[in-house]
Each structure stands twice: as structure tokens, then as C-alpha cells.
């Protein structure tokens, strides 16, 4: 039985994952065992053997997938908006610091400061 190094096995698996077929890898490297490359893919591969990937195509799955895609798009828009808001606030803070000539200290929020703020505002926390 021929022994192969781990680096060699991982190289073969990487080529498989980029689209090369198992048969052509066996031929290219002279690997005689029919299950050898498959075993390496199962052991070292990120996605497993390609033909095991199934595409379930029914109405419920499509609807759920569409809803998830919409949610992702909405979250990406929200992240972009929050990033712009943060940039605007940081820029405003920089201008205020420059005009006042004294750095504005950021208030550090702790549990005790939140409780104190709630007491001052007459609200309860929870």
C-alpha cells in the first residue's frame, strides 16, 4: 500500500474543491485506489464530495430562502446606515473638540451609571 503525505492529500483535495474531478486527479497523480481520493475529501475537504450536495426545491424552502435574502439585504442596509451615522457623529465630535479647544470626554456607560440615570429620569430598568 502506497503512503501519501498529509500535504499531498490536502493538495489533491484543494484541487478537487476548485473543480477538478476525482478521476482526473487519480490519473494525474497515479493514485490507484478508487476510494482513496474520496476518503481524503471526506477527511480534509471543506464541503465534502460534490455529488452529495442536494438542492431541495420546494415552495416552502424557496419562500424561506427569499425571506432570508430580504432580511440579509435589510440588515446590510441598516449596517451601512449605522456606519454613516457613526461617521457623522465622530466628525461632529471632532469639530466640537476643535472649536472648544478642549477634548470632549466620552461618558463611559456602566451598570451603576445606568441605574443612576434611571433614578434621575424616574424610569425602572429591567
User: What tens digit of pLDDT does each residue of 31-69 get?
Assistant: 988 899 989 988 888 876 665 555 666 888 888 989 999
- Residue 80 has a pLDDT of 96
In a 13 Å sphere around the CA of 49, the CA atoms on its Cβ side amount to 11
- Residue 75 has a pLDDT of 96
Note whether 11 and 44 are within 8 A (CB).
no
Amino acid at each position: 500500500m502506497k503512503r501519501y503525505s498529509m500535504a499531498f492529500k490536502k493538495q489533491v483535495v484543494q484541487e478537487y474543491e476548485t473543480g477538478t474531478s476525482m478521476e482526473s486527479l487519480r490519473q494525474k497523480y497515479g493514485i490507484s485506489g478508487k476510494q482513496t481520493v474520496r476518503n481524503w475529501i471526506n477527511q480534509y475537504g471543506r464541503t465534502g464530495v460534490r455529488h452529495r450536495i442536494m438542492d431541495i426545491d420546494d415552495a416552502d424552502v424557496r419562500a424561506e430562502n427569499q425571506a432570508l435574502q430580504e432580511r440579509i439585504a435589510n440588515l446590510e442596509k441598516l449596517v451601512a446606515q449605522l456606519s454613516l451615522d457613526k461617521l457623522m457623529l465622530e466628525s461632529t465630535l471632532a469639530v466640537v473638540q476643535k472649536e472648544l479647544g478642549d477634548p470632549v470626554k466620552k461618558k463611559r456607560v456602566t451598570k451603576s451609571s445606568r441605574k443612576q440615570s434611571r433614578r434621575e429620569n424616574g424610569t425602572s430598568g429591567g
